[in-house]
Structure 1
Amino acid sequence: MNRSNAVLPACALTLGVIATPAQAAAPAIQLAKIFYDSPGTDRRGNASLNGEYVVVKNTTRAAIDLEGWSVADKTGYRYTFEPGQRLGPGRTLILRTGQGDSGTSTVYWGRRAYVWNNDKDAAYVRNGSGRLVDSCSYNSTYRDWVSCL
């Protein structure tokens, strides 16, 4: 093999590395699931309201302080995380629509009416500065939840 023939494979290898697009990093907090149609008939009872929920996941290797972060639907219903709410590395947190005692793995919106439409809607996660971090939408009449991952 002469010198000019050896250069071509080396150039092709280099170009292949350069031409490969970089993968986008997952957002720090990501919507994992939306359970938008609670079981049974919608009667606005607290148990039914809490059957409607969103799961958010910390995709990083560090705990994230969620103070000021928010989850909202398409019409603008917004839940803002309280001071002191942290989400550990790789952990998930459930945000339930109704009322209850919030803890480290489940928080309650405190609403007396549903947030998520049973047929189509979208969820948005914004950080403490108001920047959109993740979103997930659904358009379904045959399921009652959607996986966002």
Structure 2
Amino acid sequence: MRKTAVLVAAAAMAATAFTVPQATAATHQGGLHFGALQFDGPGADLPRTNAKLNAEYVDLHNNTSRSVQLRNYKVKTASGYVYTFGSFTLGAGKTVRLRNGQGTNTAYTVYRKKDNYWFNNSSGSVNLYTPAGTKKDSCSWRANGRGYTTCH
């Protein structure tokens, strides 16, 4: 009888262990959040060209069921570079790619319009802030041999 009780208790504990999520399990970020991040574009950084600058980008996803007005949202790197969105509406379930160099903004791509690289090739972080200054999301990376990472 005692052996049966021990076995039942062990089985119950094992079942609980399989239903409790692991602390290290990755979850998909809800709401407005970063997605893919290309921190080191393909090829050598020099000579610097607009195509190479635009090879650095970060995606911003809107996982909600409503459009989000991004005016005055800020994307800031740990090294102090900042991009502030102008009037831009990101549709429900849509993604916008923020590229580093020059280009014409569209519904799917916006440009930082700078002539310097903004992501460190070896490691760094980027943060998203609301117009009120509240941190909404962050993403960090370490060189992984591919030059990109996913942030969620």
TM-score normalized by structure 2? 0.79
> What is the Cα deviation at residue 141 of structure 1?
4.2
Q: Structure 1 residues 28 and 38, CA, compared in 2 at 3 Å: closer, same or farther?
A: same
Structure 1 runs of 4+ aligned residues shifted over 6 Å read none
- Tell me if 1:88 matches 2:91: yes
Q: 1:58 aligns with which of 42, 55, 62?
A: 62
Q: Deviations over 1:94-121 (max 9, x none)?
A: 0000000011100000010100011101
> What is the Cα deviation at residue 28 of structure 1?
2.5
User: What secondary structure, in the 3-state scheme, does the structure 1 residue paired with 2:125 have?
Assistant: strand
In the alignment, which residue of structure 1 is the partner of 2:103?
100
Kept in 2: contact 1:98–1:112 (CA 8 A): yes
Kept in 2: contact 1:38–1:144 (CA 8 A): yes
Aligned-residue CA RMSD in angstroms? Answer: 1.9
| Distance in 2 of aligned mates of 1:144 and 1:26 | 22
Query: Match of 1:49, as an amino acid?
Result: L
> What is the Cα deviation at residue 70 of structure 1?
1.0
Kept in 2: contact 1:118–1:141 (CA 8 A): no
- The alignment of Structure 1 onto Structure 2 pairs a total of residues equal to 128
> What is the Cα deviation at residue 142 of structure 1?
1.5
Query: Match of 1:101, as an amino acid?
Result: T
Q: 1:35 aligns with which of 38, 50, 53?
A: 38
Q: Percent identity?
A: 34
Q: 1:119 aligns with which of 109, 118, 122?
A: 122
Query: Match of 1:126, as an amino acid?
Result: Y
- Tell me if 1:67 matches 2:62: no
Q: Structure 1 residues 105 and 25, CA, compared in 2 at 3 Å: closer, same or farther?
A: closer
**Structure 2 segments unaligned to the other structure (5+ residues):** 1-15, 22-26
| Distance in 2 of aligned mates of 1:112 and 1:64 | 29
User: What secondary structure, in the 3-state scheme, does the structure 2 residue paired with 1:117 have?
Assistant: coil
Kept in 2: contact 1:71–1:78 (CA 8 A): yes
Q: Deviations over 1:63-97 (max 9, x none)?
A: 000000011110110000002x0100111000000
Query: Match of 1:45, as an amino acid?
Result: T
Kept in 2: contact 1:53–1:97 (CA 8 A): yes
> What is the Cα deviation at residue 26 of structure 1?
3.9
Q: Structure 1 residues 140 and 131, CA, compared in 2 at 3 Å: closer, same or farther?
A: same
**Structure 1 segments unaligned to the other structure (5+ residues):** 1-15
